[in-house]
Homo-oligomer: A and B are copies of this chain.
Amino acid sequence: MDITEEVLKRIKPTELENSRIKSAIDDVLGKIEHGIEGIDAEPILVGSVAKGTHLKNPDVDIFIRFSTKYKREFMEEFTLALGKKILNNPVINYAEHPYVNGTYMGYDFDIVPCYRIEDSSKKITSVDRTPFHTEFVLKHLTVEGRDQVRVLKQFLKGIGVYGAEAKVQGFSGYLTELLIIKFGTFENVLSIASKWKKYTVISFKEVDDRVEYEKFKAPLIFIDPVDEKRNVASALSLDNYATFIYASREFLRNMSLKFFFPEFKLAERRIERGTGILHIMLPKPEVVDDILYPQIRKFMNTILENIQEFEPSNYHFYVDDNVHVLIEAYILDLPKVKVHEGPPVWDRNSDKFIKKWKGKALSGPYIRNGHFYADVERKEVTMESKILSIIKSNSIGKDLDRVSSMINFSRDIGTVDRKEFQLFMDKKFPWEY
């Protein structure tokens, strides 16, 4: 398979780069060891570099593993203070623990505190499990397998489904490694994935039919070999799962570098679709992406569920200084009148319907197909007013709620980012440009 060679040529770090990375890591590890003298703790390299599956210019993850005798506050504060001293341009980020992000010799480093535990099922926080993942991969992934992981990672990146973070909802690095450990090669993973059905369960042990895997509520369930109760693919969305299946099929039919290195092209002009488009804007709340993106999705879905009358036909969102939601619909302005179906004429509740609407309806109550109907006045005629009323009666997430009063609507698409607008309109897969 020539194409994987070509991909590797572009993405695999050279020996020279690897020795540069190694010396950066050795420096940082040495500085941490120095800093934790007298404390029952040790630094440990985890992540793709530790496993030899990293691409060019990798991010480096170093955990400081503390004895469980230390309190969480101590462990966290100690790590933050030390990390800030060691890294350049340090920033404190917040996941389950706070951690330090910064650079060293031009590489992006994370220094993260965790507890030293006996086995991964006894974790106190989810990061405590990470060193066990590193250990498992180092033990089971062959040297040839490492390059296969690299190619698969790049493929997943290219088709837009790499990364378990909330923004992407895709495949994590660890999941990519497990797929290669399980199925051997990049091509094998794709040929198996191309046949995946609605619901796939993968495990290194025998899959037990009596186990209710449905409880994971995920399209792909890959049982974590270091913690049977965990689905490694829990972050993967249905549509990213489906996109991977489809991309695998397409790639096996027509192996092209476009799947690995897609190139977006701006279209000359857009096709006239005859629909209405609404551009919704909210100021971006100051929260991390893993908090923000689930809220935006919830916001968009709450809107979509409640504007069915307008027949929404397409939706998209993106984030810059603002949160932008784009909705395309068959109708932006509904008629003032709304046909309201009542009970059958012979129903015991039909008198209530008559009492309620007689004299109040725009017309009726009248009879159609044995039922009472009334043409009533629609409360929210425009999509904008409908969305305002949805926001009033539904929470759209803690942080978006805070800015919801600053919501802004526009039917003029002039202020929409051109690339994002085209993604919204084309709905092409990345490899199709």
Identify the closest chain B residue to A336 (Cβ).
B274
Tell yes or no: A124 within 8 A of B by CB: no
Q: Are A314 and B336 in contact (CB under 8 A)?
A: no
Residue from A219, A372, A426 whose CB has the most chain B CB atoms within 10 Å: A426
Extra contacts besides A246-B345, A275-B337, A363-B426 (15): CB < 8 Å: A219-B370, A238-B370, A239-B368, A239-B369, A241-B370, A242-B344, A242-B367, A249-B351, A273-B335, A273-B375, A274-B337, A276-B335, A313-B337, A313-B339, A330-B335
* Alpha-carbon distance between A311 and B190 when the two chains are bound, in angstroms: 45
Q: Are A238 and B273 in contact (CB under 8 A)?
A: no
Contacting residues, chain B, for A246 (C-beta < 8 A):
345, 367, 372
Task: With both chains docked as a complex, state the minimum distance between the C-beta of A174 and any C-beta of chain B, in angstroms.
Answer: 24
Tell yes or no: A243 within 8 A of B by CB: yes
Q: Are B428 and A366 in contact (CB under 8 A)?
A: yes
Contacting residues, chain B, for A285 (C-beta < 8 A):
none
Q: Are A375 and B314 in contact (CB under 8 A)?
A: yes
Contacting residues, chain B, for A346 (C-beta < 8 A):
196-198, 242, 245
Tell yes or no: A334 within 8 A of B by CB: yes
Contacting residues, chain B, for A243 (C-beta < 8 A):
345, 367
Contacting residues, chain B, for A197 (C-beta < 8 A):
346
A367: which of B239, B272, B367, B369 is its contact (CB, 8 Å)?
B239
Identify the closest chain B residue to A345 (Cβ).
B242
Contacting residues, chain B, for A428 (C-beta < 8 A):
363, 366
Contacting residues, chain B, for A425 (C-beta < 8 A):
363
Q: Are B370 and A242 in contact (CB under 8 A)?
A: yes
Identify the closest chain B residue to A381 (Cβ).
B274
Instruction: Write the residues of chain A forming the contact surface with B, with a CB cutoff of 8 angstroms.
Output: 196-198, 219, 238-239, 241-243, 245-246, 249, 271-276, 313-314, 330-331, 333-337, 339, 344-346, 351, 362-364, 366-370, 372, 375, 381, 425-429
A198: which of B275, B334, B370, B426 is its contact (CB, 8 Å)?
B370
Given A274-B381, A330-B331, check contact A427 B242 (CB 8 Å).
Answer: no
Q: Are B271 and A362 in contact (CB under 8 A)?
A: yes
A362: which of B273, B335, B339, B351 is its contact (CB, 8 Å)?
B273
Task: With both chains docked as a complex, state the minimum distance between the C-beta of A275 and any C-beta of chain B, in angstroms.
Answer: 4
* Alpha-carbon distance between A135 and B241 when the two chains are bound, in angstroms: 78
* Alpha-carbon distance between A351 and B253 when the two chains are bound, in angstroms: 12
Q: Can you identify 10 A-B contacts, CB atoms within 8 angstroms?
A: A198-B370, A241-B370, A242-B367, A245-B346, A271-B363, A274-B335, A275-B335, A313-B339, A363-B426, A364-B427
Contacting residues, chain B, for A272 (C-beta < 8 A):
336
* Alpha-carbon distance between A331 and B335 when the two chains are bound, in angstroms: 9
Q: Are A239 and B370 in contact (CB under 8 A)?
A: yes
Task: With both chains docked as a complex, state the minimum distance between the C-beta of A356 and any C-beta of chain B, in angstroms.
Answer: 15
Contacting residues, chain B, for A366 (C-beta < 8 A):
427-429
* Alpha-carbon distance between A336 and B336 when the two chains are bound, in angstroms: 24
* Alpha-carbon distance between A10 and B127 when the two chains are bound, in angstroms: 93
Q: Are A339 and B314 in contact (CB under 8 A)?
A: yes
Task: With both chains docked as a complex, state the minimum distance between the C-beta of A86 and any C-beta of chain B, in angstroms.
Answer: 44
